[in-house]
């Protein structure tokens, strides 16, 4: 089973976006502590610089810290600030740390987080603390934060992010699927455009350039290759048509002369003599060759869209009615029935249409069974008509319905030429139907009944 390019593109886009999401989340999880530390230190430095005038009052200082915080998220850390002011006489547990660090000489390296504020990480009583102070006044006001509180705050931020991702995950996943599907369709759109244009190509319009305007320049070379292929195919078809047409035209004159000479020889020979019988056989073969050349010439004209026809209104009911009358006279062994609606008029070429109906009739006669029958039906439709001709046959080939209109196709049961014909009648009939805007189809039923259907207009009802 072949894989679908659209689904492959869709899958790759989906996997790529999911990979980016996972990588982003992993990197964020690893860098979050460093980012929080950096942003927190900057926020602490900003607080110390802007709130130093109220450093004697913890409540005012914390209120100022919230107001001057540049980041609302990290401003939430102010509740963990321990303010160690110069004249803070509080004996609560929090300021007790201030007594521990007052006058302490910090051995660890100090980090300047602003021009005036430095921060040092110090372990006191087996607990890690972050201490911020003015670099010019180490004995001045300080902000002290327990490292454990910082870590807990980071975890709370990450937990909040996880909850948000959980709640928005289904929507994001749906959006991702829609985006991937949209992108895959966007990529496939030019390919579908090329496909639709190529579907319109046939031997009848190979001389016309492809009506494709690629949206993306990446498809220019692709279109150019197909255009060159179309040109080469058109040249091959033109050569084949010219050969068939020229050959048929060149053969027509000598065959006509040969037919005239054989007829004169037959007339001079004794009636019923062996020589006359043989010459009649030769004359029949000449007639067969003339018929082939005329049909090939007409098919070449059809392939090149240069069939000469003269359109006028023809009473199809009368044409088929006369065909039925003649058939009943000349085919006594066949039961011929008809159901024809009257006054059905068709704008067509009378000669071509007569040839079309005659080809269908002769086909029904040739491939009938012994003591068989032919049923002919003509029905008026809303904007046209439908003509049906049915006949029984014996042992039809399995591919008859698919290949009946192929040129020189006669099926397995006729290869021995027990049945007269060359396999061009139905192909020619289909071309005649096409130039008149009609559709000719063939169907074989389970009971080995062949039905030829001519519907005008093609696809009409």
- Average pLDDT of 67-81? 74
Written as six digits, the tokens of 388 are: 């049906």
Rg of the chain over Cα atoms, rounded to whole angstroms, equals 48
Highest mean pLDDT out of 154-158, 323-327, 426-430: 323-327
Neighbours of 44 (CB within 10 A): 26
217-303 against 312-456: fold identical: no
Higher pLDDT, 181 or 300: 181
Which tens digit of pLDDT belongs to each residue from 178-220? 877 887 788 778 778 778 877 877 766 777 777 777 667 777 7
Whether pLDDT at 304 is above 70:
no
* Contact (CB, 8 A) for 119 and 110: yes
The reported pLDDT for the residue numbered 220 is 79
Residue 248 has pLDDT above 80, yes or no: no
Looking at domain 217-303, which CATH architecture does it have? Answer: Orthogonal Bundle (1.10)
Q: Structural domain boundaries of the chain? A: 5-158, 217-303, 312-456
Residue 456 CB burial class (10 angstroms; 0-12, 13-18, ≥19): buried
Question: Is the model's pLDDT at 94 over the cut of 80?
Answer: no
Three-state SS for the chain is CCCCHHHHHHHHHHHHHHHHHHHHHHHHHHHHHHHHHHHHHHHHHHHHHHCHHHCCCHHHHHHHHHHHCCCHHHHHHHHHCEEECCCCCCCCHHHHHHHHHCCCCCCCCCEECCCCEEEEEEEECCEEEEEEEECCEEEEEEEEEEHHHHHHHHHHHHHHHHHHHHHHHHHHHHHHHHHHHHHHHHHHHHHHHHHHHHHCCCCCCCCCCCCCCCCCHHHHHHHHHHHHHHHHHHHHHHHHHHHHHHHHHHHHHHHHHHHHHHHHHHHHCCCCCHHHHHHHHHHHHHHHHHHHHHHHHHHHHHHCCCCCCCCEEEEHHHHHHHHHHHHHHHCCCCEEEEEECCCCEEEECHHHHHHHHHHHHHHHHHCCCCCCEEEEEEEECCCCEEEEEEEECCCCCCCHHHHCCCCCCCCHHHCCCCCCCCCCHHHHHHHHHHHCCCEEEEEECCCCEEEEEEEECCCCC
What pLDDT does residue 414 have?
46
Mean pLDDT across the stretch 220-249? 75
pLDDT of residue 93: 46
Domain 312-456, architecture per CATH: 2-Layer Sandwich (3.30)
């Amino acid at each position: 089973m072949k894989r679908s390019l659209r689904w492959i593109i869709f899958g790759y886009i989906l996997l790529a976006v999911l990979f980016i999401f996972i990588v982003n989340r992993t990197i964020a999880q690893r860098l979050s502590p460093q980012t929080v530390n950096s942003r927190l230190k900057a926020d602490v430095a900003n607080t110390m610089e802007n709130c130093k005038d109220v450093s004697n009052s913890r409540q005012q200082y914390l209120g100022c810290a919230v107001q001057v915080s540049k980041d609302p998220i990290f401003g939430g850390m102010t509740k963990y600030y321990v303010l160690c002011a110069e004249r803070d006489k509080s004996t609560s547990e929090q300021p007790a740390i201030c007594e521990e660090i007052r006058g302490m000489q910090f051995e660890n390296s100090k980090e300047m987080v602003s021009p005036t504020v430095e921060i040092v990480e110090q372990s006191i009583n087996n607990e890690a603390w972050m201490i911020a102070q003015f670099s010019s006044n180490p004995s001045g006001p300080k902000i002290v934060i327990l490292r454990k509180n910082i870590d807990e705050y980071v975890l709370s931020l990450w937990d909040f992010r996880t909850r948000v991702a959980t709640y928005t995950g289904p929507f994001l996943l749906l959006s991702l699927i829609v985006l991937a599907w949209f992108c895959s369709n966007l990529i496939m759109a030019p390919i579908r455009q090329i496909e639709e244009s190529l579907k319109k190509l046939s031997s009848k319009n190979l001389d016309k350039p492809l009506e494709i305007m690629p949206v993306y320049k990446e498809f220019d070379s692709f279109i150019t290759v197909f255009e060159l292929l179309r040109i080469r195919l058109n040249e091959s078809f033109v050569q084949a048509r010219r050969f068939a047409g020229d050959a048929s035209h060149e053969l027509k004159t000598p065959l006509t002369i040969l037919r005239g000479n054989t007829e004169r020889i037959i007339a001079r020979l004794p009636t019923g003599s062996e020589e006359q019988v043989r010459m009649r056989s030769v004359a029949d073969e000449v007639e067969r060759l003339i018929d082939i050349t005329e049909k090939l010439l007409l098919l070449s004209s059809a392939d090149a869209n240069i069939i000469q026809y003269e359109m006028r209104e023809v009473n199809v009911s009368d044409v088929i009615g006369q065909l039925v009358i003649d058939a009943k006279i000349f085919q006594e062994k066949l039961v011929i029935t008809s159901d024809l609606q009257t006054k059905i008029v068709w704008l067509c070429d009378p000669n071509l249409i007569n040839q079309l109906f005659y080809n269908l009739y002769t086909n029904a006669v040739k491939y009938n069974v012994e003591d068989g029958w032919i049923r002919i039906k003509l029905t008026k439709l809303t904007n046209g008509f439908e003509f049906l001709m049915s006949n029984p046959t014996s042992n039809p080939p399995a591919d008859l319905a698919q290949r009946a209109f192929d040129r020189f196709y006669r099926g397995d049961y006729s290869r021995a030429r027990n049945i007269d014909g060359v396999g061009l009648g139905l192909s020619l009939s289909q071309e005649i139907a096409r130039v008149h805007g009609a559709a000719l189809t063939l169907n074989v039923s389970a009971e080995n009944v062949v039905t030829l259907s001519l519907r005008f207009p093609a696809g009409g009802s």
